[in-house]
Amino acid sequence: MSRTVVAFQGEHGAYSEEAIRQHFGDEVETLPLGTFADIFTSIEEGKADYGVLPVENSVAGSINQAYDLLLERDIRVVGEIYLRVRHCLMAPKGTKLEEIRVVRSHPQALAQCEKTIAEHGWRAEAVYDTAGSARELAASPEPGVAAIASALAAEIYGLDVLVKGLEDKNWNITRFFVLGEEETRPAERNKTSLVFAVPHKPGALVECLNEFAEKNLNLTKLESRPRRNRPWHYVFYLDCEGHWKEPNCQSALIGLLSRAAFVKLLGSYPAAEMPDEG
């Protein structure tokens, strides 16, 4: 039997790959791809069984490009992952912390470590990818240069981790959707994600949200995005507790269908545990 293949965007050692390891363990094969859209395509074309897509970060907020793709493409959400992002400072073996003058990483990772970088007086250099900064440094080591990336990247590219947890805020968590085509069964705790639009009239959104409140379904996320080609119209991304196979969730979905302009059910899936702050 062939191994399960899980697609992600980035290079080996990306945080997305760490998320895959956390969720699926070490037995699955990971498939690095160039773009978020490639993840959807790889599943559609049968090249991957699942994909892992970052959708929001506790520091940076929602990843709009990911949400736009969830609306455009027709793949289900079959799971979620919360990954505690721990930026590691890494350098070629034998490098000492006090030798470091320059740190390289993706601009967002650099921004998340801004205070620490300033305290040490390091010069920050932006590269296109966190894992890529580690791979390149391993391939062409330069004295006094370190990369900021995941512990997995250090392991893969054979670099020494000089500092673990370089990020300024402990509460740095990225949420990923697990994409796939299978039908999920209700677990003990479930979430349902969907996209909908409301008719352009007063009270329309509240009426839609009431459908969930009346069935005692907590909303865990609600976010608006402009509706393409329709100025001042919005689509709403909503997560609620429950599985579409459960009666109260079905009842809310029918109520929503009767009020919304359209509904796209992204999927129901087992709710993930939020990692500890420590």
Catalytic positions, please?
Answer: 174, 176
Tell which one of 6, 14, 75, 91 touches a second copy (CB under 8 A): 75
Residue 226 to residue 221: CA distance in whole angstroms: 17
Helix ranges (DSSP H) in 62-178:
64-72, 107-112, 114-120, 130-139, 151-157
Residue 258 to residue 83: CA distance in whole angstroms: 36
Binders in 202-261 for a second copy, by CB under 8 A = 244, 250, 253-254, 257-258, 260-261
Tell which one of 198, 209, 238, 240 touches a second copy (CB under 8 A): 198
Nearer to a second copy, 41 or 58 (CB): 41
Pairing of strands 76-84, 102-105: unpaired
| 114 sits near a second copy (criterion: CB under 8 A) | no
Short-list 40, 24, 30, CA closest to 10: 30
Give Cα 72 to chain centroid, integer Å. Answer: 17
How many residues contact a second copy, by CB under 8 A? 23
| 41 sits near a second copy (criterion: CB under 8 A) | no
**Min dist. Cβ of residue 257 to a second copy (A):** 5
Tell which one of 107, 199, 203, 226 touches a second copy (CB under 8 A): 199
Query: Amino acid identity, residue 150?
Result: S
**Interface ranges with a second copy (CB under 8 A):** 44, 74-75, 181, 183, 195, 197-201, 244, 250, 253-254, 257-258, 260-265
